[in-house]
Amino acid sequence: MKRFRPRLGGLRARLVIAFVLVALISTVTATALAYRESRTAVLARTQDAFQTDVRDRVDSVAPDFDMPPDVRTLTAMADSVSSGLSGAPLVVTRYHDLTASSDGLADRTRITPELRSSVRSSGRTRFQRVEYRGRPYLVVGTPVTYEGGRVSGLEVFAVTSLLAEQEHTDALLDSVRGGLPPVLGLAAVLALLAAGTVLRPVRELGRATRRLADGDLDSRAEVKGRDELARLAADFNTTADALRASVTGLRDQEARARRFVADVSHELRTPLTAMTMVATVLDEDAAQLPSDAARAARTVSDETARLARLVEDLMEMSRFDSGAARLDAAETDLARTLRGTLELRGWTGQVAARLPEGIRAVVDRRRVDVAVANLVGNALRHGEPPVTVTLSATADGVTVEVTDRGPGLPPDALDQVFDRFYKADSARTRSEGSGLGTAIALENARLHGGTIEAANRPAEKGGGAVFTLRLPRHPRQPGGQDGAGRETAAGGGVR
């Protein structure tokens, strides 16, 4: 079972975080608004009720007191008002500089100067919420007026506790807080489910894209529904169809081009063989011909031989391209093979060979001969003597190094020297070589599971170009095993 592993920054994590944040903000906002409205409603109800009670009580007791009052009268009025109110709150009566209260020990600072000033200036009932020693209180002040609205100068203030209302709203807030974690947990679960629903087609599309990138041109994404993701999957399938059609067309063109080259090369072999025979006869008789005719005969002979080599090279490349090239490997004495390569081509006197005896490997002798001959031929044609062939070996592979003391390869040619028909000197469009020798050498090395690298030797070490052919002691087999039955890495060599 595939385990869910949250990854910070992943699309799933971002969706869950966004969903939870939205849920958290929405819940907190709704809770805050509900709390504020509830608190306001509770306080408004309490305030309105207490103001009404105070006014009614003052209106009922005020006619029984004589004006102007003294301290005793003010105290009696405060007691009378307080006793008629629910909870017997603190009542303070004021008349100019005289002040009395229903509780002589009570702190009167809860009646602020601002409230007294507001009651006096407005001539109407006013209230104020204050906090005293950490507890909330409601203070209501009302003036006593004569009939007709004339102000008597007598003011009555009543102080009642709002602790019960605060506890009520706090309990409401605690209830909301207690419900917040389950809401967030439910939001996270819903976010995971929603993310899974959204990400499932995205993951499927990603897998299809990777299969397509790996070369599976039949990879398609399943189209479900009619939403944006379904349209994206449909667009991907349309693009994949177009890509497959394009690649198929290109492969067909490439296959036709290869067949054309192979067919042309094959058809040229027979006339070229005849031309070579005739050119050979002309070349042998050139000494008896007039000078112009002799020069023409030798030119025909040289160009015919060059054309024959080019055709052979093209046919060899077509075999590599079509996958028809096969490895005929056998355990071989490499020193003897390389010595034969030099002797067969008459290069023994031109090339210094460092070929230690006893180095054996399972190789295709003909292909090793072709690869080394192409490298040595290039060194002799384009480098400067001395040209050296050095054979060495390790436990896993063998190395053939071909060096010369020429100017070396231009830096920009090191990456292109194995390209087909590449010539370092573009001005020399005609040369003895066809430009296919290094490419054929590389293909032969790859067929063995080996590589060829081109480099320049540092000037302080003599300079010149260095071509290094590396071959495994046991070439790869189609089943991923070498000649000794050991597992090998897939894929050919690289430059």
Neighbours of 437 (CB within 10 A): 20
What count of residues does the chain have? 495
Question: Do the Cβ atoms of 405 and 463 come closer than 8 Å?
Answer: yes
Q: How far apart are CA 263 and CA 243, in angstroms?
A: 30
**Which residues face 43 on adjacent strands?**
none
Enter the pTM of the model.
0.50
Written as tens digits, the pLDDT of the chain (495 aa) is 444 455 555 667 777 788 778 878 887 888 788 888 888 888 888 888 888 888 888 888 877 777 777 888 888 888 888 888 877 788 888 888 888 888 877 777 888 889 888 888 888 888 998 888 888 888 999 888 877 667 778 888 998 888 888 888 888 888 877 877 887 788 788 878 877 777 788 888 889 999 988 888 888 888 888 888 888 889 999 999 999 999 999 988 888 887 887 788 778 878 888 888 888 888 888 778 788 888 888 888 888 888 888 888 888 888 888 777 888 889 999 999 999 999 999 998 899 999 999 999 999 999 999 999 999 998 998 888 889 999 999 988 999 999 998 888 888 888 888 888 776 655 444 455 567 888 999 999 999 999 999 999 888 888 889 999 999 988 765 544 444 444 433 333 332
What are the start-end ranges of the E strands in 250-322? none
Angle at 328 between CA 323 and CA 334, to 5 degrees: 125
φ, ψ dihedrals at 382, nearest 5°: -110, -15
**Which residues face 393 on adjacent strands?**
398
| Cβ partners under 8 Å of residue 413, min gap 6 | 422, 424
Which position has the token pair 């903000």?
A: 25
Q: Which residues in 349-370 are b (16+ Cβ under 10 Å) and which e? A: eebebebeeebebbbbbebbbb
Angle at 166 between CA 163 and CA 171, to 5 degrees: 125
Q: How far apart are CA 419 and CA 421, in angstroms?
A: 6
By the 10 Å C-beta count (0-12 exposed, 13-18 middle, 19+ buried), 390 is classed as middle
Neighbours of 391 (CB within 10 A): 21
Question: Do the Cβ atoms of 398 and 474 come closer than 8 Å?
Answer: no
